[in-house]
Homo-oligomer: A and B are copies of this chain.
């Protein structure tokens, strides 16, 4: 147990702190918006790449900084930007860029990675379908090879940012007769072509952060495949892992709890601060203990990765625990505020710009999305604890 950082990493951190102090004013304000990056955002990203605080491990020839991978440096970068409340840079689209780097052709890498890293090329993900949620491998959007083009027909859902996207990475069924996991291919193509219709999908928060995307005889180039035909499920799996990995991040939970404490110190009932009201106080303490457990659990995972070990159970539980915990933190904020807690949108008297209600709903969405809590429990039971899968059942029974 040694919570100190090596001298090299301490220097790295203090250089970054110095950088942030000097340049934070040139960072764009607020969260990055979905869609095209603003010029300001692009300049910021360029500066960060130049200094190695964005696209750090992407090779120079593809537009990155080209450093050797160092998990602790990544961790320090994430921590310091979060602590300084400065918008961090990115390494392109974290779902598709790693796939291209690992499995893309040299041509794909050269054409696609640099503009993505620069924020010039926006991607959307075509995985889920209305009939294929938890059971993603049952997807039915099909692509048929005609000459040097794939012809795609079907419907995708949850394609966030599709209305702004230049490119799509998409799972389609190309081998209808193969077993379901072996009949899928991973295609990439531009979104500006006939036969693609994007319809916004409004969620319970009232915003349209997702879309439904319809493909009707949509023709895309044959060489837009990553990996071989029928290997798409395995190509995609790496990125799915990556996406799931970010759900339930304990740093975010810690920062939410900090905001909740502030709220409960400032708001009052009949003059008494909420944090002094025992029933709310007790709930807050329960949540703090759980948050701390997940925070240190995160340090354990980080340590395992640093040692090149599989973190195992500590890693499997992050999404299940983290999303539920975030949801409960929002729930307490709302209850403690009482009627003020149900205010929404641009209502007078709304607190923290309505983030608590929005997060209460979004967190519920995250409990469901990226593998429902039920699927997570199956995975923990089967993969981490070694319990048997459900037996195969008789078709049509």
Contacts and interface: CB of A to CB of B under 8 A. Distances in A.
Contacts of A279: 278-279, 282
Interface string A363-397: 00000000000000000000000000011111001
A279 B286 CA distance: 12
Interface string A263-285: 00000000000000011001000
A389 to B, nearest CB: 10
Is chain A's interface secondary structure helix, strand, loop, or mixed overall? loop
Contacts of A390: 393
Nearest to A390: B393
Contacts of A278: 278-279, 282
Contacts of A391: 393-394, 397
Interface in A86-124: none
Nearest to A396: B391
Interface in A42-90: none
Nearest to A395: B391
Interface string A143-168: 00000000000000000000000000
A67 to B, nearest CB: 50
A370 B201 CA distance: 48
A13 to B, nearest CB: 41
Nearest to A279: B282
A390 B393 CA distance: 9
A157 B390 CA distance: 29
A152 B45 CA distance: 82
Interface of A: 278-279, 282, 390-394, 397
6 contacts: A278-B279, A278-B282, A279-B282, A391-B393, A392-B394, A394-B394
